[in-house]
Amino acid sequence: MNAGIVADVLLIAAAVVWILARQVRVAPVRPRLLWLTPPLLAFFGIRSLPSSTWHVPADLALLAIGAAVSIGLGVWRGQTIKAWRDADGTWWRQGSVLTLVLWGALIVARGLISGAGAAVGHREATNPGAILVVLALSFAAQNAVTALRMNAAPPPGGGQPAEPAARDTARPPRLATHDGLHARRHERIQARVTASNPRRQKCSYPTNPPQY
């Protein structure tokens, strides 16, 4: 292993440590970084891959396996990152312990794939360029899930729907008019009965019958 490869590995390791530290901190979401980071990593990774990698089936198989694992873990990690918006409309995000565990799983899987490639004599598919491509795909999947969850998040204030207006219990005007006419008609009938039979005015009947 020459000095150039060692330097690349150390730089990638430092970048991974920095990324992991940022994953669990509360930090504002920067949309540009969500979409620019994966293409940049993929660009430099593809440039670092030997041209022969794209013509050897075994190398392509190792790259495909690494890509599938990276995308799957990236989608899973995106679901573990909490994203919310404050009252000012600023988006924030924070990873969890599970986020770090899934990053660890990606590192272990990448190590196993690199070991398998070295064992079968295909080191080209496991060089630092392949690692950058793997990180690019993993970040792309994670950021895509995070963006989808941000779009589905409720607006500031909880986004609770407004309570329905209280049902009006008042009687419709038509029914109220009908009740008024009925009451006046009943009063006129009572007045006529009383006028035609004055004795009923002298009689008083108990309102409630006696209880036995």
Other residues' Cβ atoms within 10 Å of the Cβ of residue 90: 11
Q: Is residue 77 part of a domain?
A: yes
- At which residue do the structure tokens 């873990």 appear? 73
Residue 208, pLDDT > 60, answer no
Q: Is residue 130 part of a domain?
A: yes
Q: What is the mean pLDDT of residues 19-31?
A: 84
Q: What is the mean pLDDT of residues 23-42?
A: 87
Structural domain including 43 reads 3-152
Q: Is residue 54 part of a domain?
A: yes
Instruction: Give per-residue pLDDT as tens, 137-178.
Output: 999 999 999 999 888 777 665 544 444 444 445 555 555 565
Side-by-side strand order, sheet with 27-28? 27-28, 91-94, 82-85
Instruction: Determine the pLDDT at residue 49.
Output: 85
Shortest CA distance to 77 belongs to which of 54, 92, 99? 99
Q: Is residue 193 part of a domain?
A: no
Sign of CA dihedral 176, 177, 178, 180: positive
Q: Is residue 122 part of a domain?
A: yes
β-bridge partners, 93: 27, 83
Instruction: Give per-residue pLDDT as tens, 43-64.
Output: 988 888 888 888 888 888 888 9
Q: What is the mean pLDDT of residues 10-26?
A: 80
Task: Say which residues have a Cβ less than 8 Å from residue 45's Cβ, sequence separation at least 6.
Answer: 128, 129, 130, 131, 132, 133, 134, 135, 136
Q: Is residue 171 part of a domain?
A: no
Lowest mean per-residue pLDDT among 74-83, 174-183, 202-211 = 202-211
Q: Is residue 57 part of a domain?
A: yes
Task: Say which residues have a Cβ less than 8 Å from residue 74's Cβ, sequence separation at least 6.
Answer: 137, 138, 139, 140, 141, 142, 145
pTM score: 0.65
Domain count, the chain: 1
β-bridge partners, 34: none
Q: Is residue 91 part of a domain?
A: yes
Report the chain's mean pLDDT, rounded to a whole number.
78
Instruction: Determine the pLDDT at residue 196.
Output: 66
Q: Which helix (H) or strand (E) holds 85?
A: strand 82-85
